[in-house]
């Protein structure tokens, strides 16, 4: 999928990995404040905005984080274009959620043309070639059959599975804090270079690893890794990558903290 920035886009924000799970959580509140305040004309949410997405009917749960976030995005959509890509946790976000949010679904990968350049946008998980167990799981849960079967379960059953996934994820994080950092898989550099060459652009923007960095891939190619968000962690993290497009049309990427009360 290709998107060309219209002339009125001067500020474009990229975010991922907020892992929102409760309306009242500080990270959710920080995101809602960010949405009210951002000057961006376009927002690109590149996956794992939600900790888990059990189906668009979660929007009917009053007071749920899904409903709150959709309503807030819909408000922003009056003044900014919103593009949402699924991550490995929230890939089941469907048309009803996009409609409720005033957002456009963004395929993984997609290319944004802005400031005279192309930006390859992806969540990042598909490039983690070393994580073979995950890639097998990914192939399964991305199949139409699996998704149809999952979504046909009663909402209450999917809510229970969602709670189990959250609990596992919390236990995982607690272990990581208590012991040495857990092993993690980074994106495969060769796979990234091939993806960039396939679409003929030099810059890749992705999330997923929770290891924000700017990697020089050589030959003028760069990989920008987005930060995850967790305002309860030490130090707290909440950051967007912002593309600022000057009146002359040139662009600059910069990491912007969005913490603050
Ligand atoms: Mn992810």
CB contact at 8 A, 81 and 43: yes
Rounded distance, CA 204 to CA 225, Å? 8
- Tell how far the Cα of 205 is from the centroid of ligand 1, in angstroms: 13
- Tell how far the Cα of 51 is from the centroid of ligand 1, in angstroms: 9
- Tell how far the Cα of 248 is from the centroid of ligand 1, in angstroms: 35
Rounded distance, CA 110 to CA 191, Å? 16
Compute the average pLDDT of residues 87-100.
Answer: 97
Compute the average pLDDT of residues 116-137.
Answer: 96
Per-residue b or e along 74-88, where b marks 16 or more CB atoms closer than 10 Å to that residue's CB: eebeeebbbbbbbbb
Residue 260 confidence class, pLDDT cut points 50, 70, 90: low
Going from the C-alpha of 228 to that of each of 7, 94, 99, 150, 185, the distances in angstroms are: 30, 23, 25, 27, 15
- Tell how far the Cα of 210 is from the centroid of ligand 1, in angstroms: 8
- Tell how far the Cα of 105 is from the centroid of ligand 1, in angstroms: 17
Domains of the chain from N-terminus onward: 2-257 (3.60.21.10)
- The DSSP output letter for 16 is -
Compute the average pLDDT of residues 112-131.
Answer: 96
- pTM, full prediction: 0.95
- Tell how far the Cα of 50 is from the centroid of ligand 1, in angstroms: 10
DSSP assignment of 25-67, as one string? SHHHHHHHHHHHH---SEEEEES-SBS----GGGGGSTT-HHH
Compute the average pLDDT of residues 36-62.
Answer: 97
- Tell how far the Cα of 249 is from the centroid of ligand 1, in angstroms: 32
State the pLDDT at residue 74.
98
Q: Is the pLDDT of residue 182 over 80?
A: no
- Token duo for residue 90: 């929230």
């Amino acid at each position: 999928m290709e998107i060309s920035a219209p002339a009125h886009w001067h500020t474009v924000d990229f975010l991922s990995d907020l892992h929102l799970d409760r309306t009242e959580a500080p990270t959710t509140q920080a995101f809602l404040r960010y949405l009210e305040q951002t000057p961006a004309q376009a927002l690109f949410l590149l996956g794992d905005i939600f900790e888990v997405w059990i189906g668009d009917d979660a929007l009917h749960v009053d007071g749920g984080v899904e409903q709150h976030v959709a309503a807030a995005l819909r408000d922003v959509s009056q003044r900014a274009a919103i593009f949402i890509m699924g991550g490995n946790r929230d890939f089941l976000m469907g048309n009803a959620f996009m409609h409720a949010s005033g957002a456009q679904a963004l395929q993984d990968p997609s290319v944004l043309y802005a400031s005279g350049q192309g930006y390859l946008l992806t969540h990042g998980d598909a490039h983690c070639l070393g994580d073979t167990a995950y890639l097998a799981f990914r192939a399964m849960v991305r199949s139409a059959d699996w998704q149809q079967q999952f979504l046909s379960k009663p909402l209450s059953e999917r809510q229970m599975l969602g709670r189990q996934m959250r609990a596992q994820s919390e236990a995982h994080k607690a272990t990581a804090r208590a012991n040495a950092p857990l092993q993690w898989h980074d994106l495969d550099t060769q796979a990234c270079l091939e993806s960039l060459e396939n679409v003929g652009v030099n810059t890749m923007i992705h999330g997923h690893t929770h290891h924000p960095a700017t990697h020089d891939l050589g030959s003028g190619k760069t990989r920008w890794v987005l930060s995850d968000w967790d305002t309860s962690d030490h130090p707290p993290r909440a950051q967007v990558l912002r593309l600022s497009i000057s009146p002359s049309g040139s662009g600059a990427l910069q990491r912007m903290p969005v913490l603050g009360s």
